[in-house]
Amino acid sequence: MVGLNKNILRTILIASYIMIITLIVALVSTLFSYLNTGADRSQMLHTEIKKVEQYLPKVVWAELNNEGRPMDAENLKAIEDDYLDAWYVKHVAYKTNNTEGVKDYFTDNARKNIFDFIELNSTKGITVESTTLEHHPTLEFFSEDGQLAVLTDNNVVEYKRVFKDEKLILKATELSTYKVILLLEDGFWRIRHLVKEKSDDLVSESRSGYYDSLNIKGINYYPQETPWDMFGDQFSIDTIVNDFKIIKDAGLNSIRIFVQYDDFGKANVPQEKVEKLEQTLNIAEEHNLKVVVTLFDFYGDYSVLNWTLDQRHAETIVSHLKDHNALLAWDIKNEPNLDFDSRGKELVVSWLDNMIDLIRSVDQDHPVTIGWSNTQSAAILKDKVDFVSFHYYEDLDQLDASIKNLKKEIPNKPLVMGEFGLSSYKGIWKPFGSSEDDQANYHRKAQEIIAANKLHFMSWTLYDFNKIPKEVVGRLPWRKNTQKQFGFIDKNGAKKASFKYITNH
């Protein structure tokens, strides 16, 4: 019996020993495998760096004629991806004064300069918001062993804002040239050497008197059943055909439509959305109407690090439509001055300024404007836009004086009153509102002032609406109900008294 117990005990000890040894071997094997494969960069950064979503500057490679080993497409793509990721990580590091992630995209020597710069900025309370919008690299050398690449990155468009103690002290757009050496380490291209060889301030040209022949008698347009969702699932060609016929028969010659940033896919614009936009312009052309396309509706970010995403969004749409016969102009954004308080006037204006440059680089033929919400903001970037557009919902008695003041302040650019109108809502939520007769008198008087000042115009809007999205005016019923009844045609399809004054003929 004692011998049996000893045998059982011996068996248990041996089995336990084997299990412990097996476990140790498995742990060592796992550790060895990890050390040989390297850590996941996204895990090391505690964030997934996805260039497709976060950083998309325009990159144009010079024709390959490098010394050393011939370059293939796969290696060139890997170099470009890691090179741009390095730029993005550097931008984040300078903005946050945090070195996390830098070691994964820069070698020991290169990262020392970055670390020193961040340490200096931290001690002085300085942060730098920056991005690059364009790169034009030339591959100078690719080593025979495929481990080293030398680039010259020409005409790098850089934008930066420098803050000290959270106060803006400098902003600049520069055109720079960099000499770059990259090394292949652990399967990734890391920057060994990044030196700015030269840099100049980038000055964009203004255009004066370029579109003096404008003749805009138009209206802002949404379909009655899908306001602020014109290009959604209920997109209807038949509806647009019918509405454009009404607009043309009324004596108008143009419409203003809106492209919502999120709805159109942000940086990755879906083909089906662009096709719906093109179909709308096709119908406009069939009715001899011109179209002002307003970009970036419901956009409100403006963050410098996201500028490249915004530019890819605009580039896709502008490239697709720039040769369309119905295209009249690009309106960069609807009422961006309403974002001044929340995002900062300087940042918003800088974003607009750079976006104008981007659109002009794609389309040199069509005018560019900005739909300011009032006359007080209309002169901002007046030397940059091709015509000045403002909206007017204030006292009509002050309109004539406001137009004359603008003409004095901006004598060399056409003026367009891009939105104006009066709601005919009068009900429980606004008992002292305006009637349909009041609305008609408003438009009669407005057209008299427009004619007297030879002003271009686009009124708001063709239809009364049954519903208004909360994103437009919020949830308050007195605001939503007022917004529903600015149209020249009521909810039942009947022309209101104001329709008689939809234009001055």
The SS3 assignment for 250 reads: coil
Q: How far apart are CA 36 and CA 15, in angstroms?
A: 32
Confidence of residue 42 (pLDDT cuts 50, 70, 90): very low
SS3 content of the chain, % helix, strand, coil (to 5): 40, 25, 35
- Burial, 238: exposed, middle or buried (Cβ in 10 Å; 0-12, 13-18, 19+)? exposed
**Res 349 pLDDT > 50:** yes
Residue 31 pLDDT grade (very low, low, confident, very high; cuts 50, 70, 90): low
Identify the H or E element spanning 189.
strand 188-201
Average of pLDDT values for 333-357?
A: 98
For the beta carbon of residue 263, count every other beta carbon within 10 angstroms.
18
pLDDT digits (tens, 9 = 90+) for 431-454: 999 999 999 999 999 999 999 999
> Is residue 419 one of the residues assigned to a domain?
yes
- Binning pLDDT at 50, 70 and 90, where does residue 402 land? very high
Give pLDDT, residue 213.
Answer: 77
CATH code, 69: 3.10.450.50
User: What does R_g of the chain's alpha carbons equal in angstroms?
Assistant: 30
CATH of the domain at 308: 3.20.20.80
Contact yes or no for 151/141 (Cβ under 8 A): no
Residue 2 lies in a domain: no
Number of helices (H), then strands (E), in the chain: 14, 14
The total of other beta-carbon atoms located within 10 Å of residue 358's CB is 22
Of the listed ranges 50-64, 173-187, 307-321, 477-491, the one predicted with least confidence: 50-64
Cis peptide before 461 (omega within 30 of 0): yes
> Is 266 in the same domain as 310?
yes
| Residue 493 in domain | yes
How high is the pLDDT of residue 47?
A: 43
Residues 291, 382, single domain; the answer is yes
pLDDT number for residue 203: 79
**Are residues 225 and 282 located together in one domain of the fold?**
yes
| Same domain as 350, residue 420 | yes
- Give domain status of residue 410, yes or no: yes
Contacts of 114 by beta carbon, 8 Å cutoff, 6+ apart: 90, 93, 99, 102, 106
User: What is the pLDDT confidence band of residue 6, given thresholds at 50, 70 and 90?
Assistant: low
Asked if residue 450 and residue 314 are part of one domain, the reply reads yes
Entry field: residues in the chain: 505
Is residue 19 scored above 80 in pLDDT? no
DSSP state of 17: H
Residues 124 and 248 in one domain: no
Residues 370 and 486 in one domain: yes
Confidence of residue 29 (pLDDT cuts 50, 70, 90): low
Nearest to 110 by CA among 130, 83, 80: 83
Query: What is the rounded distance in angstroms from the CA atom of residue 7 to the CA atom of residue 11?
Result: 6
List CB contacts of 381: < 8 A, sequence separation 6 or more: 349, 352, 353, 356, 370
**Cα-Cα end-to-end distance for the chain:** 118
Q: Please determine, for residue 128, whether its predicted confidence score (pLDDT) is greater than 90.
A: yes
Domain count, the chain: 2
| pLDDT for residue 425 is more than 70 | yes
Does the pLDDT at position 408 exceed 60? yes
Q: What percentage of the chain carries pLDDT values higher than 70?
A: 89
Q: Report the pLDDT value the prediction gives residue 49, as an integer from 0 to 100.
A: 47
Per residue in 216-264, pLDDT (tens digit) is 999 999 999 999 999 999 999 999 999 999 999 999 999 999 999 999 9
The mean pLDDT value of the chain amounts to 92
The last residue of a domain, from among 157, 174, 201: 201
Segment 278-301, tens digit of pLDDT: 999 999 999 999 999 999 999 999
Q: Maximum Cα–Cα distance for the chain, whole Å? A: 120
Closest CA to 288 of 235, 259, 325, 318: 325
Is there a single domain that holds both residue 229 and residue 162? no
Considering the domain boundaries, does residue 206 fall inside one?
A: no
Residue 32, pLDDT above cutoff 70: no
- Does residue 21 belong to any structural domain of this protein? no
| Residues 168, 96 share a domain | yes
- Asked if 255 and 341 sit in the same domain, the reply is yes
Q: Do the domain assignments include residue 60?
A: yes
Q: How confident is the model at residue 474 (pLDDT cuts 50, 70, 90)?
A: confident
Q: Where are the beta strands (DSSP E) in 28-114?
A: 58-59, 67-68
| Residue 25 within any structural domain of the chain | no
197 shares its domain with 338: no
- C-alpha 16/C-alpha 495 separation (Å) is 91
Out of 11-25, 29-43, 201-215, 458-472, give the one with best mean pLDDT.
458-472
Q: Indicate if 254 and 178 belong to the same structural domain.
A: no
Q: What is the mean pLDDT of residues 372-379?
A: 98
| Residue where a domain terminates, one of 146, 177, 201 | 201
Task: Indicate if the pLDDT at residue 204 is higher than 90.
Answer: no
Going by C-beta distance under 8 Å and a sequence separation of 6 or more, which residues neighbour residue 385? 356, 367, 368, 369, 370, 413
pLDDT at 37 over 70: no
Paired residues of 294 in beta bridges: 258, 331
Q: Are 459 and 420 in contact (CB under 8 A)?
A: yes
Q: What average pLDDT score do residues 150-176 get?
A: 97
The pLDDT of 48-69, averaged and rounded, is 84
Neighbours of 206 (CB within 10 A): 13
Identify the band that residue 67 occupies on the pLDDT scale cut at 50, 70 and 90.
very high
- Residue 101 carries which DSSP code? T
Query: Under a CB-based contact definition with an 8 Å cutoff, are residues 345 and 383 in contact?
Result: no
Q: Which domain holds residue 104?
A: 43-201
Domain boundary among 133, 168, 201: 201
- Whole-number pLDDT of residue 211: 62
3-state secondary structure of 438: helix
Class of residue 424 by CB neighbours under 10 A (exposed 0-12, middle 13-18, buried 19+): buried
